[in-house]
Amino acid sequence: MKFFLSAIMICGAFLLAYGQDDANSGAITKVLALEHAWNQAEKTKDTMALDALFDNLLVYVDYDGTLRTKAEFLAQVKSSDSQPQQEITESMNARAFKGSVVVTGIYVARGTDHGRPYVRRGRFIDTWIFEDQGWHCVASQATPILR
Amino acid sequence: MDFRLIVALLLLAAAFPAGAQSPENDHTDQSTVLALENAWNQAVQQKAAAALDLLLANDLVYIEYDGTLMNKTEYLSSVKAQSYHATRIMNESISAHSFGEMVVVYGVYREIGTLSGGKPYLRRERFTDLWVRRKSAWVCVISQSTSIP
C-alpha cells in the first residue's frame, strides 16, 4: 500500500511539473508574440494597439533614463517629432515566474527624432503579468550598449 | 561588519512567511524588499560579496548602466574587483509594487566615490529590480540600470 501511495505521489508530482512547464511554455510563446506586436505597433504609431498591451501602471524607462508613465509613452509614440523607421530585436530571451514573464534582449532602433537621424542599440527588460485574461507589460527599461 | 550584515539579511529575508496575496501581505512584502534594497547598497559599499550572495538569485540577470550583461558570478566578481572606492551609495527615490508573487522596485540610485587615481566620481542611475520569493526568502532575479544626468 505504501508503495502504491508513493507511486501515485511521484506520478502526481511529475504531472504537476509537466503541466507547469507546459503552461510556462505557452505563456512565453504568447508574450514573445506580444513583443513583436509592440515593435510593429510602435513603428506604425498604432497607440490603440499599444494601449491594449500595457498595464495602466506601466513604468517605462527610456534609453536616456527618462521615466515615462503609460500616457506619456503613448503621447511620445504619437508625436510627429519621432519617426521610427525600423525596430529590430537582435536577441530575445523569456523566463516565466508565477503569473509573470520577463523578457530580456537587445534591440536596434533606427529613425529620426526632431528631424535628426538616429541609430540606437541597447539592452531591454520587459516585465509582463497575466491579469484580466491577458498579458500586460508593467515595466520596461532600456540601457544603451556603450561597450 | 560583514557577518552582522549577513545575519541581518537572513533574519530580514525570512522574517515574513508566505501567505495568500492581500493588500496587507503586499505591503509587508514591499517593506521587506525595500529593506533588502538598502542592504544591497551597504553590501556593495563594503564589497561584502557573501552578503550579496544571499540577496541575489543564482540565475540573476544584471544589466549595468553601460549595457554590460552579467550573471551572478560575474556581478559578484565585479563588486569585489572594483578599481574604485564607493564612499556613499544611496537611493534618491524608490518605490515598490507587488504583482502577484513578484515585487518590482523602481528608483534612482546615486553613488559617490573615488577612482583608483583618487579622482572623485558621481554616478546617477535609474534602476528596475525584480524580486521573487524562493524557499521563503526574497531574492533579486533581474536588475537593470540606465545612466541619467
Among A67, A92, A141, A145, the residue to mutate for chain B (most B Cβ within 10 A): A141
At A2-46, the pLDDT tens digits run 666 666 666 555 555 556 677 788 999 999 999 999 999 998 999
| Domain parsing of chain A, residue ranges | 2-144
Q: How far apart are CA B24 and CA B18, in angstroms?
A: 12
At B74-130, the pLDDT tens digits run 999 999 877 778 889 999 999 999 998 899 999 999 999 998 888 999 999 999 999
CATH class of the structural domain A2-144: alpha beta
At B33-80, the pLDDT tens digits run 999 999 999 999 999 999 999 999 999 999 999 999 999 999 999 998
Pick from B66, B144, B145: which is nearest to A146 by CB? Answer: B66
Pick from B61, B100, B147: which is nearest to A100 by CB? Answer: B100
- The DSSP letter of residue A7 is H
Residue B47's CB is within 10 A of a number of other CB atoms, namely 16
Q: Which of A120, A102, A108, A137 is nearest to B63 (CA)?
A: A102
Q: Grid coordinates standing for B41?
A: 547598497
CATH architecture of B2-147: Roll (3.10)
At A51-110, the pLDDT tens digits run 999 999 999 999 999 999 999 999 999 997 888 888 889 999 999 998 899 999 999 999
Element (H or E) spanning B71, and its range?
Answer: none
DSSP string, A10-50: HHHHHHHHHHHHHHHHHHHHHHHHHHHHHHHHHHTT-HHHH
Q: How far is A55 from chain B (nearest CA, A)?
A: 11
Tell whether ipTM is more than 0.90: no
| Domain parsing of chain B, residue ranges | 2-147
Range B102-139 burial, b when 16+ CB lie within 10 A, else e: bbbbbbbbbbebeeeeeeeeebbbbbbbbbbbeeebbb
